[in-house]
Structure 1
Amino acid sequence: MEPNPSQDDLYQEAAAGYGAALDRLASAYEANPEERRDLLQDIHLGLWRSFSAFDGRCALRTWVYRVAHNIATSHVIRQKRKNSALVTLEVIEAMPDVQDHAYEQRANLERLMALIHQLKPLDRQMTLLYLEGMDAASIGEVMGVSPGSVATKIHRIKNILARRFHGGERDAE
């Protein structure tokens, strides 16, 4: 019989396996680089703390995403209370003037991320999990909804984002 992994062992496994995904998640939730670093640190601390209660009833991946998204959602709520802006003047001033292909791709990605930032927190969470390659069943497990609801909602969110991206409009979610 194998001994149960310790809190530290579980954290090390999660950080090694999902560190890049957690970094992308923090980037998707927070545009400000300093706030993003703080959010990522909060996610790692929260994840380490959470492993004292991890009982293995769900996959490690599901646990990691659930904890990370809960912390990121709380961060967004706190930031909204502070009325912080998504894009600061420093970010705008740092943008290059050159319009080459790489810059255009980066600008499109930043524009898409800004649109994702505008989604309601649960829609944003679902979208980010989808962008991380999770299927509807896994997203449903993380968020506590049915896979069918996830698939329907993802389809609607993709349509909303496409309309906003191409038309610049902001429609009711």
Structure 2
Amino acid sequence: MAASPDDLFRDVTKNCSGLISRIALSYEADPALRRELVQDIMLAIWLALPSYRGEASLKAFSASIAQKRCISHVTKRAREPKPLELPPDLISPALAPDEIALQNDMRKQLIASIQQLPLPQREAMVLSLEGFSYAEMAVMLGISANAVMLRCQRAKAALKLLIEKKS
């Protein structure tokens, strides 16, 4: 009676693990990638064991699969782009974490201060911060452009006082 794939795999694991590791070592120097390669080889052996007919030794069968997997691995790795070393003096275009935190604090302080403004000044300031012109805000608020400008000036002065008090 022929051995089951489970029995054959136990035999491969027990008797051929060193061979498979050495074959993988001859193709892959990186320890982490080599461990992955060994796992890939073991999976390939597991998947191929049902077709094992005993024409060659189990060791030769396993070594053949290991060789083919290693060649596939090297071929695949050769097609991957090589990682580039970043220069140590590379400056990130993003703000530093402490600058981001400072900006967030300032934004929160501005929002809290705007919420303390009287409603007419608050409306004008929010629209102004959104980039609307005095003419556009005048249409939205139903008042003249001069009245909008006056509200914005008063809001800015009030915000300046509120923020100075908190600082």
TM-score tier by shorter-chain length is 0.3 to 0.5
| Structure of larger gyration radius | 2
TM-score (norm 1): 0.46
TM-score (norm 2): 0.47
